[in-house]
A and B are shown apart, each in its own frame.
Chain A
Amino acid sequence: MQLEIVEDRVGDTLILAPVDRVDSSVARDFEEFVSNRLAEGNTSLVVDFARLGFISSAGMRVLLLAAKKLRAGGGSLLLCGMRDSIREIFSISGFDRIITICNSREEALAYEA
């Protein structure tokens, strides 16, 4: 099973766009990927959900850990592009009160600027 993540960079901001599914079977790969990008010194991170159809709590945990690391180091994590079903579970989880969620990548980048 493969995890596909499309990467872009705009200025100092790294944008990660996971594709299709971040389920429990690839959550560990996702964690390692994000952890490596943070270890490289990226402090401004946007995760774009536009190409993501599914995420479970195992994937959400990776984002929570990344948000904590970035906040503790003075960096930032923004999420964007969520479809309604995913937005709903971020709301039930209360994640939308601790991690900023923007409607679009453009909005996220404007927020970072």
Chain B
Amino acid sequence: MSHKFNVTLQAQLKELRTLAEMVEAFGAVHELPSRTTFIINLALDELITNILVHGAFDEGVEPTIEVELGLHNGTAVLTVESNDVEFDPTEDTNPDTESDLLARGIGGLGLHLVKSQASRSSYVYVNGKNRLTLEYDTP
């Protein structure tokens, strides 16, 4: 059994709340654990923010982000596709999780959270788009 929704966003941070509501509704309908819904929303916040704040877009390209969330045999599958220049978010971001408080930095933490909470992740750059797929096994 497969269920999914698709949404194409105008690339703006204010879309995050609308998207979160869609994920919450999807999670409620399919009785996903609250933790799964939370980490999917976290992944969307971190990924979309990263694209909008750090992503580079070729001249004349309208920033577009496509999100698909599906459920396949108990695994939630999230796909985020964006038309910014090639960037692999699955590469190690080397966040600082060890330094003392006053020396602590936060760079790379968001993507580290995304990767560490997914059961599996894969990335491909195809047809001028970055496509990241994250899978979340549910108990």
Report the bound CA distance from A23 to B109 in whole Å. Answer: 15
B104 with A85: CB separation less than 8 A:
no
Among B2-10, B68-76, B94-102, the one that faces the other chain is B94-102
B96 contact set on A, CB distance < 8 A:
94
Q: Assign chain B's interface to a size class.
A: 20 to 34
Q: Assign chain A's interface to a size class.
A: 20 to 34
A54 with B101: CB separation less than 8 A:
no
CB distance from B93 to the nearest CB of A (A): 11
What DSSP secondary structure best describes chain A's contact surface? helix
Q: Which residues of A contact B (CB under 8 A)?
A: 1, 21, 23-25, 53-54, 56-58, 60-61, 64, 67-68, 71-72, 84-86, 88-89, 92-94, 98-99
Q: Which residues of B contact A (CB under 8 A)?
A: 13-14, 16-17, 20, 34-35, 38-39, 41-42, 45-46, 48-49, 95-98, 100-102, 104, 106, 109-110, 112-113, 116-117
